[in-house]
């Protein structure tokens, strides 16, 4: 089978996009693992599948590089919005996009009819252990856990997908430590892990170990999770610049919702035989 694809990135978090509105792909997990292989495929942190929707302008289905399903991805949905607009699948602004975490609105910043930046209403976070999920009935807010024979002070929440935030100086951490936390016994379905350093009340730095993908150059939902946690703990204002290895984005935390603003860029497009 020959597939048309587009490779796109948001702050270095890279994705393959497939238009699946005609239901060509049946096994999302298998196809994703093949496409995301950086040696034998196209290479990417995940695959975004464009689907029809009766509830929104379109639907985004996302699978991580290891073939696991993800309900939501912040960088991914910005890239997805650029794709469906520039491919003239959805020519409205804002675009409503159905995800596994509900319907999201994407507000497009256009220049010469090209999408330069996208603002996403990410919805509201949840610290409820059942929603994340966590073991037990206690919220993980500034809680000590042990993973890989090391203690960490963490805060865990659902920001579309499960996230755990570890505060501290980034120079003192090895991003690969995220693997121990991701699969630790506290998180029955695993967790994304964000190491976050507060520079001042308007600026934070974040490195993310993504569940199912490993170390990434950027994570949109992870950046939002860090902004929510630092705001909740009184360390930052409600609007912060988040610096990730792939660049910078803005996150605004309001009482009922979180907004993320950032860029997205097309890398290349083509066809692949699978």
The reply to whether omega before 270 is within 30° of 0 (cis) is no
Of all residues in the chain, the percent with pLDDT exceeding 70 is: 100
Catalytic residue among 58, 73, 79, 226: 73
Q: What is the CATH number of domain 143-256?
A: 3.10.310.10
pLDDT at 255: 83
Mention every residue, 6+ apart, whose C-beta is less than 8 A from residue 53: 59, 98
Q: How far apart are CA 242 and CA 253, in angstroms?
A: 12
Q: How far apart are CA 187 and CA 8, in angstroms?
A: 31
Sign of CA dihedral 261, 104, 206, 11: negative
Q: Is 90 a catalytic residue?
A: no
Specify the 3-state DSSP secondary structure of 138. coil
Q: Is 79 a catalytic residue?
A: no
Q: What is the mean pLDDT of residues 255-266?
A: 94
Measuring CA to CA, how many Å separate 24 from each of 31, 47, 213, 223, 274?
Answer: 11, 15, 25, 33, 12
Q: How far apart are CA 198 and CA 232, in angstroms?
A: 13
**Residues in the chain, overall count:** 274
Mean pLDDT of the chain: 96
> Tell me: the pLDDT tens digits for 81-131?
999 999 999 999 999 999 999 999 999 999 999 999 999 999 999 999 999
Asked whether 123 and 258 are in contact (CB, 8 A), the reply is yes
> Tell me: the pLDDT tens digits for 219-241?
999 999 999 999 999 999 999 99
Domain 143-256 in the same topology as domain 2-119+263-273: yes
pLDDT at 274: 86
| Beta strands 161-167; 203-210: pairing state | unpaired
Long-range own/partner contacts, residues 167-173 (CB < 8 A, 24 or more apart): 167/196, 167/197, 167/198, 167/229, 167/230, 167/233, 167/235, 168/195, 168/196, 168/197, 169/197, 170/195, 170/197, 170/205, 170/207, 173/207
Q: What is the mean pLDDT of residues 148-154?
A: 94
Give the residue extent of every domain in the chain: 2-119+263-273, 143-256
Give phi and psi for 48, each to the nearest 5: -105, 120
Decide if pLDDT at 256 tops 90. no
Record the pTM: 0.91
What class does CATH assign to 2-119+263-273?
A: alpha beta
Name the residue among 73, 77, 67, 80 with its Cα closest to residue 27: 67
Least confident of 53-57, 145-149, 203-207: 145-149
Give phi and psi for 58, each to the nearest 5: -165, 175
pLDDT band at 6 (very low <50, low <70, confident <90, very high): very high
Q: How far apart are CA 98 and CA 46, in angstroms?
A: 18
Give phi and psi for 63, each to the nearest 5: -125, 140
Catalytic residue among 219, 224, 226, 264: 219
Decide if pLDDT at 63 tops 90. yes
Q: Which parts are annotated binding residues for substrate?
A: 13, 64, 74-75, 192, 210-211, 220-221
């Amino acid at each position: 089978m020959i597939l048309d694809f587009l490779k796109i990135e948001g702050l270095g978090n890279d994705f393959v996009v497939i238009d699946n509105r005609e239901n060509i792909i049946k096994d999302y997990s298998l196809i994703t693992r093949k496409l995301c292989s950086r040696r034998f495929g196209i290479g990417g942190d995940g695959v975004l599948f464009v689907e029809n929707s009766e509830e929104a302008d379109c639907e985004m289905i996302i699978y991580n590089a290891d073939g696991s399903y993800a309900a939501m991805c912040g960088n991914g949905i910005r890239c997805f919005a650029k794709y469906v607009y520039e491919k003239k699948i959805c020519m409205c602004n804002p675009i409503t996009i159905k995800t596994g975490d509900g319907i999201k609105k994407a507000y497009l910043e256009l220049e010469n009819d090209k999408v330069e930046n996208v603002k996403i209403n990410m919805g509201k976070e949840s610290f409820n252990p059942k929603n994340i999920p966590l073991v037990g009935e206690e919220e993980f807010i500034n809680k000590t856990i042990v993973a890989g024979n090391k203690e960490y002070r963490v805060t865990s929440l659902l920001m579309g997908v499960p996230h755990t935030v570890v505060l501290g100086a980034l120079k003192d951490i090895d991003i690969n430590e995220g693997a121990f936390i991701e699969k630790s016994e506290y998180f029955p379905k695993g967790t994304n892990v964000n190491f976050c350093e507060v520079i001042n009340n308007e600026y934070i730095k974040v490195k993310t170990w993504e569940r199912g993908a490993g170390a990434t150059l950027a994570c949109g939902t992870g950046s939002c999770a860090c902004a929510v946690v630092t705001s909740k703990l009184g360390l930052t204002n409600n609007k912060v610049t988040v610096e990730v290895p792939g660049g910078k984005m803005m996150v605004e935390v309001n009482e009922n919702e979180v907004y993320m603003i950032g860029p997205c860029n097309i890398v290349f497009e083509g066809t692949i035989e699978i």
